[in-house]
Structure 1
C-alpha cells in the first residue's frame, strides 16, 4: 500500500496517470485490471476527463456529468435561447459569449480584430457608436457585416443568420428538438468532429466526448417532446442549464480494456489488480454532513419507529454518518488484489482527510518520476533534451537518435518538420512596400519604434491589447475635442456619455477608475480656465496634418508623416504653441526631457511645413505636453520643446527617414538588455522573453 500527498489537483491527476502507466507499461497489467475510486460522481466525472486528457483510457460508471455542465451542450442551448429572445433585448455579453462559444467559432484575438474593423468603419463614416454596439448590431442585422471582408466577419454573419433562423422557428412554435437541430446543422461541426474522432490522442477523445454530449442532448430533447407535446421549448432549455443531475444512461457503454473510474457503491462486488483511491480530502471523505437537516425529515422515521420517544431525544446521527463513511472507505480499500494507492491534495485551500492518520506515512511527491510514460511524453522529453541549453553532447545525440526512430514510426510531434519555428517563413517580403502603398508614420509611435523595433512591430500587427487606462485617455481626448465648453461640467458630460464603452473586471475597479477620470477632468478644466483667463486663443482641436517625407527611392508611393494634434493655441503674445494632452502617470515633466521628443518634433515639422491651417504668418512658440498626472503637487505640468531652427528640422527629417527604413524592413531588432528584459517597461516584446512555465 502506498499513499501520496500532492501539491495541487493537476499534480494529483499527473501522479495517478503516471502510476497507472507504470503498472500497465512496466509491469504488464491490463488497463481493465486497474480502477480509480472516488467518493462521489462529480469527482468521478472530473477524473475521467483528466485521465483521458493524459492519454490514459478511462471509463466512468454511472451517469457522468450533467448535460448543462458540458461545454458543447451549454453553448448550443445558450445559442438557441439567444435566438428565441427578441433581438432588441439582446445583451452585449450574451452576443460576445455566443461568438466566443463552440458554435460562434471566434477566439479572443479574432473577436478583437472584428471589433477594430467595425469601429474603424464607423469612424470613417462619421459615426459615434462603440465597438460593442456595432458588434451587437452586426449580429442582429448580418448585412451590416458584409462591408467587412474578413473571416471573422463571415463567421459572425453566419452566427447572425443562424440566430435569425432560430427566431423564425420560435415564432412558429417549433420544438426544442427542431431548433437544436437547426443550430447544430448550421454550425457544420458534425463533419469536423467526426473526422477528428477517427484519429487517436487527446483531441480524438475530446471529439468523441463532445459528440456523445450532443447526441445525449438530442435524445433528451426528443424524450421531452414525446412526453410533453405542447411543452414550451424554453422550459426544456432552461432545465438543461439549471440541472445539476446527469441523465440516466439507457444502455451501458461497451466493455473495453479501459481503466474503470468508480464510486465506492459502484465498486461493490468487483475486484481489480490495482486500485487508486483518489481525492481523499477533508470534508469530502468522510462526508459527515447530515441529510434532511433543513426540514428535519429524519424525525418522521424516528416517530414511526419509536412513537413514545420524547421530542428532545435524538440519536447521534453524525456518528452514524461517520460509520457509513468508514464502511465506504473500507469497501474501497478491499477492492484491491495486489496494489493499493491512496492520494490526496495538500495545498492552501484544502488538506487530506483524517482517514490518512490510519494509513502508512505518505511518500513525497518527488518520488514519482515526471516522465508520463507515453509516446507524447517521450517525444517531449527528447525534444527538451535536444533544444535546452547546457545539455551534454552525448545526451543531445541520444535524444536526436530517439526522435529519429519515433519520427520513422509516425509518432506525432517527433519529426522536426512539425516543430514550431522550424518551417521556413511564409513570406520574406518587406512590411511596407512602396510599390503598393505609402509608408505612413505616426508621431505617437515614433518613440516606441526608436526604443524597440520589435515592440513597435508587434503593436503595428495588432498585438497590443490596449487596456482600461488607454480607454480612459481616449475618452478624455474626446471630451477635450467635442465638449460644448471648457467647463468641468461639459467635459464630464462627454466622459459620462462614453463611459459605457469601457469594460471593467470588477465593480470596485470601475468606481476607482471613475474617480480617477473625474480628477483628470478637473485638472483639464483648470488648465482651460487659466488659458482663457490669460487671453489665449484656440485655433483648433484634433487638427489633422500630413507632411510628405522625401525618400531617395520614392516612386508612385512615398512616406507620409501624418497624425492629429490635440490643440493648436495662440498665446497672448501671438505665438503658435502646439499642445499634446497626456493622461498617463509616467510622462516626461521637464523641458529637458522633451527637448528631443519625437512626437512634439513631428508637430513642429507640420507647422514649419505649412501643414496646419489657419496659422499662416504667425511665429512658432514651440510645442508642449499637457501632463494631467504630474508627480509634483500641482494640477498639471507643461514641459515645452523650444521652436525648431533649420538645423533641427533637417535632423528630425533624417530621423523620420531612418524610421521609414525600419518600417519598410524585413527584420526588427530587439534591444534585449536595455528594453525587453526590463520588468517595468511592460513592452509587448516581453512575450519573447517570458520563460516556459511547464515542467514536463
Structure 2
C-alpha cells in the first residue's frame, strides 16, 4: 500500500525521486521497500530517476550530518556497528582492569573484563544517549539517587568520548549519530540552512513502521515536517516489539490522535479469516489503545490456514516442520524463498537448520543472527592469516586440517598419524639424532607435534622426508593444500602487504571460490550452505577494507584481534540482486515488516515464549529509563512482569501475522518426558475456533492411537526409501502392500535413485568374503592376555583390534611406565633411581585435577615402585644364591605351536612374559605385572586362562612349569606386592588346555564374530553397535 502510494505519486504526479523521502527504521526494511518500489516503477517505461527515495532513518541522518560537517570543513563522521562499539567498550574495560580502577565501585572491579559487564554497560550508555543524557547529566543522576554504577557509566562515557577525539576521527554509534544530526540541523548557520534547503525540496515524506522509532529518531524525523509537504506516517502500536532497543510508539500515537488526519486501514490484504480471528482474539490480552481498530480480512474467501501442532518431543517437532515445508514445496510447488521458519531466539536456529538440511531443505540464516568470526570458513581464513605471523599450536593445526582447506576426514587423519608414528618408531629404533624435542622439558616430539611441525614448516628436509615417506596421494595432497595456502599468506605478510592483500592471497590459494559459486548457483542444501559461506567471506573482506581505510598503518594482528573481539552479530552489505532460493530461519524480531506464503512458528514454549521480564542488571537500565521518561524514582518498586508479558504477546502476534497463505505453530508438549510445556499463548490459540489443532502430547493416546506417538513421516527421499525397503522385507505386512512397495522401489531404481535397488542396500547382500583372518604366514595367533576376553565375546575382541588407534588412558600409560621400570630393576637399577624415574614421568601420565591429587598419586606409585623393587631384588637374590643357582628373564617372548584346527590351520600361542624365574633344576615360574587397584580372587587366579597359557608356552619351550602368578605392586601387603598364584600345571591339564585353545581358535579367525552377552557388557564401549544389545540391533 505504501510503496503503491509512492509509485503513484512519482509516476502520475510527475515528481522526481529527490522530492520524496521514504524513511524506514532499519536498513533491511529499506532494502525490501526499495526493491518493491523498483518493481512497481519498472512497469512504467516513461519514468526515470537517478536514485532511490527509500532510506533508513540512520542512513538519512548520517547523510545529513556528513553533508553539514563537510560544509563546515570538519572531520567526517563514521558510523560504527554494534559489534565494533561492543568491542571498543571491552577493550577499554580490559585496560581499566590492568591500569587500575578509577571510578567503579570496588566490588565491581573483578567483573570489568567480563563480556556481560560490557554488554550491560553498552546498554545503559545507549539508553542514556537515546534520551539525550550526556556524561555529566548521568553522573548527576547517579549522585542524586545514590546509584554509583550510573556515576561510573557517566565517567566511562566521558572517557570514551575523549579517546574517540584523540583518535582524530568521529566514530558514532547509532544513538549518538541521531543526536549529533539533531544538534547539527538545529545549530545556526550551515545546519539550519541545509535543513531549510532540504525541506523546500521535499513534496512527500513517508515514515514506515513509525512504532519502531526511538525518541531520538522521532525528533530527527520531525525536523523535516513542514506545512505544504504531504506526510504519511504508517504504523501499528500493537507491533512495537523493539522496546528493548529504545523504540517508543509515542511518536505514532501522538500523530494518530488527530482523527481528522488519521486514515484507518482495518482490512488485511495478507491474512485470511482464520489468522485474523486468531490475531483478534489474542490482541484482546493487550492493554486498550484508543487508536486500535478491529482487524478484518480484505478477502473473506482467502483460503489462509492456521494450524497448531503439539509435538511429543523436540525430534518430532523438527521432523514435522521439515515435512510441512517439504510438502509445500513438492506438492504445492511453493518456492523455497516463500517459506520462513520463525523462532523466539537465535539459540533455536542451529538445531532446526540441521534438521532441515538433513532432509533436503535449503536454508538461509538471517545474517544478523550470526557472529562473523564464528562462521566456519571465516574462522579458517582467520586461522590461516594467524599462521602468517606465528606458528600454529597442535590444536590449531588439527582444526586447519579438518577445515575446507585440508579436507582431512578421520580416516585420512588416522593414516597420517600412523605413518608418522611408524617413522618415529623407526627413528627411535635406529637411535637417530634427528629427533626434535620440546623446548619446555626436552622430551621428544609426539605424533601430533610432528604433524604441527610439518604444517608450520619447522621440520628439516630430512625429517619431512622421513615423516611423509609412507604418505599416500590423499595425505600428500592434504599437506600440499595446507602448505599452498599458508605459504601464500606468509609470503604476503613478509612482503609487508596490507591486511586486505594478505587475506586475498590466502583466499585465492584455497581455490574455493569457483566451487562455492558453482554450488551456490546449483541451489539445494549444499547451495544454501555455499551461499552462506560466500556471504561470510564477502563480509570479512568488507570489514578488512573498512579497517585498512580507517587504520592504514595497523597490523594484521590488530585486525585479527578486532574481528575476534566483535562478539555481537552484525549484518553485512547485501549485494545480491535476488533473494537466495532457500527457506529462511530467523528470530521473531527479524520478521518485523516481512511476509511469506508459508510461515512456521516453531518452539512456542513456556519460559521461552513468553520469556521472563528483563531486569535492570548491574546498572539498573530499566530504572534509568523510567526516571527519564516517566519521572519514577529508582527507589520505587515497579513490577515489570505485566509489561514483559505484553511485549512477548506483541512479538507472538507479529510472528503469527506474517503468512499470506498458511501459518503453522508448533510446541513440544512433554512435561513428564523431556520437561517441555507449551506456552500459555498456545493454549489461547487452541481455543480459537478457526485454528486446526493436530498432534498429541507425550504420554497421551498411546494405546488408542499408537501412530500419534511415532515420529512424523517426512516427505523426503531418504525416509520414503527407508519406509518402502522396510515394507518389502516385513513379513507381517499384507502382500499387496509389500508388492506396491517393491514396484515403487523398482521404478525409483530405474530412474537411478541410489538406494532403491537391493544390491545397494547395506546388509542385504551376502558377505564380500568368507576367508579366514590369518597372519602373513597363514597361521592363527592367540595372545595369552586376550584369551579371557576372546572367550567372553569374540565380537568385542575383533572390534577392539580393528577400530584403529584409540586414546590411551592414564592407567594404560602408568602400566607402560611401571613395566619399563620393572625391566630396568631386573637389569640392576637401584631403588632410589627407580623411584626417581617414576616420579619424573608421572605428571605426564596422570590427569590430576589439582596439585594435591598429583602429589597423592606420586606418593602412591613411588611406594608401589619401592615394593616392586624389594620384591624383584628378593626374588633375584634367592635364585642367585640357590644351589644350583637360577636366573631371571625379563620381557621374554614365549611362543609355540598348539596344533591344527579341523580345517588344517596351524594355531600358535604367542606372547611376552613380564618376568620368568628359572630355578637351577629347570623349573620355571611366570610372573605378570598388573598395575590396577583391583585384584582377582584366588579362585579366579587359579582358573586364569592367561596364566595357564604362560605355563603351556613354557612347556612348549622345554621348561618345567612350576606355576604362575599375578603381581599387584599398587596393592601391597605386609610381605610386599599382592600375589595371586596358579599352581603348576600337569601334563594332562596342559593337554586339555591345548584342546580348549583349538576350540577357541575359530572365534578369532572369523569370518563370523559372535556377540555374547554377559557381565563383561557392563564395561563395554560397543553397546551402541552390538547386535546382542537393544541399542545396537537397529544398526546394520
Aligned match of 1:614: none
Distance 2:492 2:421 in 1: 32
Alignment of 1:382-397 (within 5 A): 382-387=724-729, 390-397=732-739
Pairing partner for 1:247 from 562, 571, 574: 571
Distance 1:647 1:192 in 2: 72
Pairing partner for 2:716 from 374, 384, 403: 374
Q: Is the 1:98–1:104 Cα contact (8 Å) retained in structure 2? A: yes
With over 3 angstroms needed to count, the CA separation of the structure-2 counterparts of 1:591 and 1:32, relative to structure 1, is: closer
Pairing partner for 2:696 from 345, 360, 364: 364
Aligned match of 1:475: 817
Q: Is 1:161 aligned to 2:483, yes or no?
A: yes
SS of the aligned residue for 1:343 comes to: strand
Give the structure-2-normalised TM-score: 0.55
Distance 1:694 1:197 in 2: 36
Q: Is 1:605 aligned to 2:922, yes or no?
A: no
Q: CA deviation at 1:580?
A: 0.9
Aligned match of 2:27: none
SS of the aligned residue for 1:465 comes to: coil
Aligned match of 1:579: 927
Distance 2:474 2:820 in 1: 29
Q: Is 1:326 aligned to 2:649, yes or no?
A: yes
SS of the aligned residue for 1:680 comes to: helix
Distance 1:180 1:540 in 2: 65
For residues 376-407 of structure 1, the C-alpha deviation after alignment (integer angstroms, 9 at most, x for no partner) is: 32112112333457555443333222211222
Pairing partner for 2:610 from 279, 283, 286: 286
With over 3 angstroms needed to count, the CA separation of the structure-2 counterparts of 1:106 and 1:579, relative to structure 1, is: farther
Q: Is 1:74 aligned to 2:412, yes or no?
A: no
User: How many residues get paired?
Assistant: 674
Aligned match of 1:613: none
Distance 2:841 2:868 in 1: 22
Aligned match of 2:867: 526
With over 3 angstroms needed to count, the CA separation of the structure-2 counterparts of 1:310 and 1:532, relative to structure 1, is: closer
Q: CA deviation at 1:496?
A: 4.8
Distance 2:402 2:337 in 1: 39
Q: Is the 1:604–1:622 Cα contact (8 Å) retained in structure 2? A: no
Aligned match of 1:14: 319
Aligned match of 1:409: 751
Alignment of 1:415-430 (within 5 A): 415-422=757-764
Q: Is the 1:41–1:62 Cα contact (8 Å) retained in structure 2? A: no
Q: Which consecutive residues of structure 2, in runs of 5 or more, have no partner in the other structure?
A: 1-305, 432-442, 688-692, 698-707, 881-886
SS of the aligned residue for 1:639 comes to: strand
Q: Is 1:148 aligned to 2:148, yes or no?
A: no
Distance 1:236 1:3 in 2: 48
For residues 413-465 of structure 1, the C-alpha deviation after alignment (integer angstroms, 9 at most, x for no partner) is: 32334333456766666544656x88765443344445544433333334473
With over 3 angstroms needed to count, the CA separation of the structure-2 counterparts of 1:694 and 1:674, relative to structure 1, is: closer
Give the structure-1-normalised TM-score: 0.78
Alignment of 1:657-672 (within 5 A): 665=1005, 667-672=1006-1011
Distance 1:310 1:672 in 2: 74
State which drifts further: 196-205 or 7-16.
Answer: 196-205
Q: CA deviation at 1:169?
A: 4.5
SS of the aligned residue for 2:926 comes to: strand
With over 3 angstroms needed to count, the CA separation of the structure-2 counterparts of 1:153 and 1:385, relative to structure 1, is: same
State which drifts further: 23-32 or 324-333.
Answer: 23-32
Distance 2:1009 2:710 in 1: 41
Q: Is the 1:38–1:279 Cα contact (8 Å) retained in structure 2? A: yes
Distance 1:301 1:572 in 2: 96
Pairing partner for 2:396 from 87, 94, 111: 94
Aligned match of 2:1025: 687
Pairing partner for 2:844 from 489, 500, 505: 500
Q: Is the 1:2–1:340 Cα contact (8 Å) retained in structure 2? A: yes
Alignment of 1:257-272 (within 5 A): 259-272=583-596
Distance 1:478 1:286 in 2: 63
Distance 2:795 2:721 in 1: 32
State which drifts further: 108-117 or 376-385.
Answer: 108-117
Q: Is the 1:565–1:603 Cα contact (8 Å) retained in structure 2? A: no
For residues 526-568 of structure 1, the C-alpha deviation after alignment (integer angstroms, 9 at most, x for no partner) is: 3442453564459557424264648889xxx998755432123
Distance 2:676 2:473 in 1: 46
Distance 1:159 1:587 in 2: 52
With over 3 angstroms needed to count, the CA separation of the structure-2 counterparts of 1:519 and 1:311, relative to structure 1, is: closer
Distance 1:684 1:315 in 2: 58
State which drifts further: 461-470 or 314-323.
Answer: 314-323
Q: Is the 1:197–1:203 Cα contact (8 Å) retained in structure 2? A: yes
